[in-house]
Amino acid sequence: MKKKETKKKPASQKSWIRKQGKYDLEILDEYVYSKKPIRKPMTPKVYREKKDFNIKEKKDEWIEGTIIEVTASSCLVNFENKNVRCVLRKGLKVGEQLSKNIIAVGDKVLISLINHNSGVIEKILERRTILSRINPLNIKQEQIIVTNVDQIAILMSCKEPEFNPGILDRYLVSAEKGGLGIIIVINKIDLDEGNSRRKHIELYKKIGYRVIETSVPKKTGIEELRKNLIGKITVFAGPSGVGKSSLITAIQPDLKLKSKPVSKKTGFGRHTTVNVKLLPIQPDGFVVDTPGIRAFRMWELLPDEVVEYFPEFVSKRNKCEFNNCTHINEPDCAIKKAIESGEIDISRYNSYLKIYKEAKRKFKY
Ligand SMILES: Nc1nc2c(ncn2[C@@H]2O[C@H](COP(=O)(O)OP(=O)(O)OP(=O)(O)O)[C@@H](O)[C@H]2O)c(=O)[nH]1
Ligand SMILES: [Mg+2]
Ligand SMILES: [Zn+2]
């Protein structure tokens, strides 16, 4: 139940939101899928090399690995199913770009070994993709969450929390913008007695998305999902409580990720997962469990580009009467005609409208 608003709104909107305790949550919720390199990366001094390890540069002995975890003073690099704790050599470059010793989970690196369980990172290889968010401590800064992600598994549950097409569409737009492979996972099908998920599944399959139905207690769809993860880095995303951690644990039981029941009071999850790690799955591949997010806002999305991220709109938009058609009020709009003929679903169009208007509002400032 929503509490009745009693406090008076102060002059500054920001301070009001902060007082209400909403501010941090909203900023933290700002996930972004982007391929762009970071201009001004955060350079925590903890990443800086403290000692010189007196290892001669023997490039032919460098081993390629993947950073799976970053801690305060070092990081964990995985290669050939082994984990080695590594520190950074000074003045490292990311690809050809000098980026002051910044490393991130997902980075492909070349390391030289000191002994069987420790080493030094000699080189960070070019990043293929970057998944980032706004730095919660400095909203002008972008912060890397994980790099080199191949695909995203967007999880929605049938119930607890209720399936929400609007949120799913926001994740989809964001993933399309980042050029990631997409798997829609519909979890908790054991709770969906009336098979209400069917219409959603048909809609997204028709658009061309891969859709996998799963249930953790009934072990349905787990194998199918695992097959889709082999050889790739896959991020699991979706609102809190939909079962991301439970599903990853079902795929790879030795991971034993924490999960908590959704709150009876709010019907939402409890944001159980906090830090970002790459989790190795057998026989080959990694998954990333992310904290659930309640709200989802777009960042750096231009109003006119929104339509590009709705695949079923793309082939239609050139047939509009006006070539700068926004598909809202213009006459002879091919997208609106497609809604009338049933080719485009109204719920997808409503999502388009919401995201477009949001982008437009932001674009003004
Ligand atoms: N009935 C049913 N419950 C499930 C299923 N999958 C997960 N759950 C339950 O849903 C609750 C939340 O699961 P989590 O795995 O913690 O969800 P999460 O998405 O990781 O949540 P955050 O870490 O908060 O983002 C737990 O009580 C799970 O046991 C499922 O397929 N069916
Ligand atoms: Mg979790
Ligand atoms: Zn149009």
* 276 close to ligand 1 (CB < 6 Angstrom): no
* Residues with CB in 5 Å of ion ligand 2: 244-245, 272-273
Q: Is the pLDDT of residue 271 over 80?
A: no
* 271 close to ligand 1 (CB < 6 Angstrom): yes
From residue 215, give the alpha-carbon distance in Å to each of 152, 218, 231, 247, 313: 19, 5, 23, 8, 32
CA of 36 to the centre of ligand 3 (A): 29
The whole-number pLDDT of residue 239 equals: 86
98, two tokens:
């000098």
* 261 close to ligand 1 (CB < 6 Angstrom): yes
Q: Is the pLDDT of residue 209 over 80?
A: yes
The whole-number pLDDT of residue 301 equals: 81
Confidence of residue 336 (pLDDT cuts 50, 70, 90): very high
The closest alpha carbon to 183, from 204, 163, 154, belongs to 154
Q: Is the pLDDT of residue 276 over 90?
A: no
b/e sequence 80-101, b meaning 16+ C-beta within 10 Å: eeeebebbbbeebebeeeebeb
* 256 close to ligand 1 (CB < 6 Angstrom): no
Cα–Cα–Cα angle for 127, 225, 175, rounded to 5 degrees: 40
pLDDT tens, position by position, 104-141? 889 999 999 999 899 999 888 888 887 766 666 666 66
The whole-number pLDDT of residue 194 equals: 93
CA of 189 to the centre of ligand 1 (A): 12
Ligand nearest 327 Cα, by number?
3
For the chain, the domains span: 59-124, 146-289, 303-364
CA of 147 to the centre of ligand 1 (A): 26
pLDDT tens, position by position, 229-247? 999 999 998 888 999 999 9
What is the distance between the alpha carbons of residues 235 and 281, in angstroms, rounded to a whole number? 13
Question: Which atom of ligand 1 is closest in space to residue 239's alpha carbon?
Answer: 25
Q: Output the CATH code of domain 146-289.
A: 3.40.50.300
Among 3.40.1360.10, 1.10.40.50, 3.30.70.120, 2.40.110.20, what is the CATH number of 303-364?
1.10.40.50
Are 340 and 283 in contact, with CB atoms under 8 Å apart? no
Weakest-pLDDT range from 23-27, 116-120, 138-142, 335-339: 23-27
What is the distance between the alpha carbons of residues 359 and 303, in angstroms, rounded to a whole number? 5
More confident residue, 261 or 325: 325
Task: Read off the pTM.
Answer: 0.78
Bridge partners for 124 per DSSP: 94, 109
* Residues of the chain above pLDDT 70, percent: 69
* 46 close to ligand 1 (CB < 6 Angstrom): no
Exposed, middle or buried, 140 (CB in 10 Å: 0-12/13-18/19+)? exposed
* 249 close to ligand 1 (CB < 6 Angstrom): no
Calculate Rg over the CA atoms of the chain: 22
The whole-number pLDDT of residue 40 equals: 40
Architecture category of domain 59-124 in CATH: Beta Barrel (2.40)
Looking at residue 139, what DSSP letter applies? Answer: T
pLDDT tens, position by position, 280-319? 998 889 998 876 654 444 556 889 999 999 999 999 999 9
> For atom 24 of ligand 1, which residue has the closest CA?
271
Q: Is the pLDDT of residue 18 over 50?
A: no
* Cis, bond preceding 161 (omega within 30 deg of 0): yes
CA of 327 to the centre of ligand 3 (A): 4
Which residue is associated with the tokens 């009934």? 218
More confident residue, 285 or 48: 285
Which residues are CB-contacts of 354 (< 8 A; sequence separation ≥ 6)?
166
From residue 150, give the alpha-carbon distance in Å to each of 29, 273, 310: 21, 21, 20
* Cis, bond preceding 261 (omega within 30 deg of 0): no
CA of 191 to the centre of ligand 1 (A): 12
* 65 close to ligand 1 (CB < 6 Angstrom): no
Q: Is the pLDDT of residue 94 over 60?
A: no
* 215 close to ligand 1 (CB < 6 Angstrom): yes
The closest alpha carbon to 77, from 31, 123, 15, 143, belongs to 123
The whole-number pLDDT of residue 273 equals: 45
Bridge partners for 88 per DSSP: 121
Q: Is the pLDDT of residue 22 over 60?
A: no
CA of 149 to the centre of ligand 1 (A): 23
* 360 close to ligand 1 (CB < 6 Angstrom): no
Question: Which atom of ligand 1 is closest in space to residue 155's alpha carbon?
Answer: 19
* 243 close to ligand 1 (CB < 6 Angstrom): yes
The whole-number pLDDT of residue 27 equals: 33
The whole-number pLDDT of residue 187 equals: 98
> For atom 21 of ligand 1, which residue has the closest CA?
241
What is the distance between the alpha carbons of residues 120 and 85, in angstroms, rounded to a whole number? 8
* 41 close to ligand 1 (CB < 6 Angstrom): no
